Chains A and B, each alone.
Chain A
């Protein structure tokens, strides 16, 4: 604890100084607000709203990839201890795969794979 005291003093002093300087510029500095100043700075360009970002399917595929990738992450360690787990392990993993399969049917019917 004693070794920390110099560090804490330095830290406190830095924090204090930083806050005081910031406050000082806020309170003492002159203020001339105008419209261009209030706009967000965008490298000299006038800010305008973007019409669209990425194609929606991009995100859907990303999430789907993550889901089925994690499925593999679970299946690999399961394979290594498959014999020790026996029948109950087999049933459990099939329940897991079944729930994932239901998810697949769900997104299929919802039209996630139709990329028009």
Chain B
């Protein structure tokens, strides 16, 4: 294989198999429907298939004679403001640890169906991420816990309240001795008020917040650097920064406030309209992330070395006259073991942009490193410019120390009553099951009967945030409201309600409790202002002023440099871009979402570099045994170009045993190995082959378009020199059409552009589309067969060195060709053109020949091989968009440019007797995209945003030489590497 790799001149490749043109890859690409043949040729399954067909024909024959009777069920009393058929939109907030996302939820006759960002909320500004989109499915999760359990036997909330009233009297008398509360981190005025009350009432009780991966180290580092006891939340202004250096921070995707970060980062990356003053991103990371793919320079390093490189940056800056105050000790082992050419050039670039540069670190770095990073920013003049710090009012942050002492106290018998408000500690901290068995009284509030609920005294079912009242404080302190869109489906309780009961033994509604808090916030003229807050979702102008912190110091600087080798590897733990820390394990949309870089679905794997893999003699899917910390875990491997050598990465959040029907047993739980209190890596890890193989479902080779110039990119210099580089990449004879031309000169003509410079590969378009268009989940086996149904496929291309490539993303949905090849081969005209340029698909006409998919050069059509929705539980059907047909078995489907949104917009404009204005109709993907990479609109209007983008030099069409004239086009990517480093390759770790 290595030989073939060398002789192959491919510039962009999707997988190592693709680059090497391995026989498996060729077979996969050449078959239009890969893996279909074996099934048809298999006599057993064929006979079974015919049997099923015969049976279903017989049933169909009988059923066909009857007219189905459908009922219309009106309200008894029609609620005010509800008009059946017209959705309502409500602003609310999604709490997410100590972050919160302002959202606007679409509701059809009282049934929430779609979540979008709230333009007024500072953390979303109208965009969203995959977790926000997927919450709608969580609301209707049929596996949610449905009742209160006492010792796992059915009970009721009232029984719990009377139990607690008795129990509480003891606690009041002994001032809360032996009482402890474990919550998830929060940022909420009401929760903060309740916490104060709790402490007042039970001064000896403990209240601890913890989540397995969070911002604790970042906050503590900042505290140390600025020598303060107050907690600050950093708000980085990426749009103000010209040079950004990230140490293992996937700030565009998995870190906190990623939606805002992506929006700001892409603002500084806009090359359209002739702008060429764009930011530069340096990324040093321990596993390939979305942010790494966006970087202009990416350095792959083991996580331990990354910490060392921060120290290295300190010295490089010092050499150049930027001295950071050090009031402690300095420990540097070994001296100068970083790549000083690379780091030196970065340091110069940072110094050259003082006040407009930014250094950030990831959640997994140590507190000391974060302290140093904050001090570096301060010394570079970035504090209060690109790095601002807001006081963390109303915030309870995760605290590993407190958590550890809670565990110790529980095990030593000091805790008598433990109340767990949310979270799943037994899953992410295995020793917590001892805590549950030692503490006599345990109460667990949780949405599912999960790992932690198994042996608790009381399990209380938790309501979803779309079902309860609450509030939140955003990163800059803006207060927002959580208002329910629907009564709790299973009658669950919110954190606030349970917490109130714990404090005073009353049983009050969340509405009253939240209003009590807000009476203090809004003060005078309460009702009027309250209504305004419910309308906007946020309290406008309630943000804090960023505090003017200055004079950062560093207490100590420590450098590590352990040699890693194939016999002594480093293992790093990462957050999953799909199931997060495991909380989304039971969400089918997220499980099936391809990983941004590896494109793996349904499970995790050990990522290792091609070099490490060849030294270990393993290949994709081989199961290896990892030994570390006296634990051993078996996991399949996935070779990921760009992974540092001898450093292996695993994502947490998989291998749940009590997640529900979707998440149980998907992937492997690695939390057991991540010993508590350790940093997020382990040294000296040994791996061994087991000889077993596990089939992993990756979509990286699906829908390949065979080595044509699909993705186009240039460095900023090249772009300045030749602005038309994207168009120059194609050459073909004059294009003539053998079919009669359509006339597209009148009316609305829909078109789209996707800016590759801005696409961060976050997948939110895929999920937003899935939610808007009722796209089914097909399961791991079918994904393995290449039958995933996502209408938007996010192609990830590698380019450059096979060990250390660059990556770039290209979302591909139906291109809506004006001369669509699919239409010409459909025997029943199920796919045809409308006069607004949409390539439309009429499901009820489709007979499933799949000719269209065969003839589609972009491979964007999706076929319903099975009746995927037949087993959808009733409650999940409530998540369906009533404006879009649910497709049946045997029907082809694909992107429609959200024709339902176009129609709704056109009809309402017509009713008002006006024309549509630009930007009035947004497609679901465009609305969700945090970087505004997608532009959609009427290309017949020369002033529309999409028409202007299509005039840009960078605009190119995919496979233009086929003369299919796609309505979707791409803006080529422009990278902005440092001229002093271009072409530079580091020797480290290779």
A and B bound? no
Interface residues of A (CB under 8 A from B): none
Interface residues of B (CB under 8 A from A): none
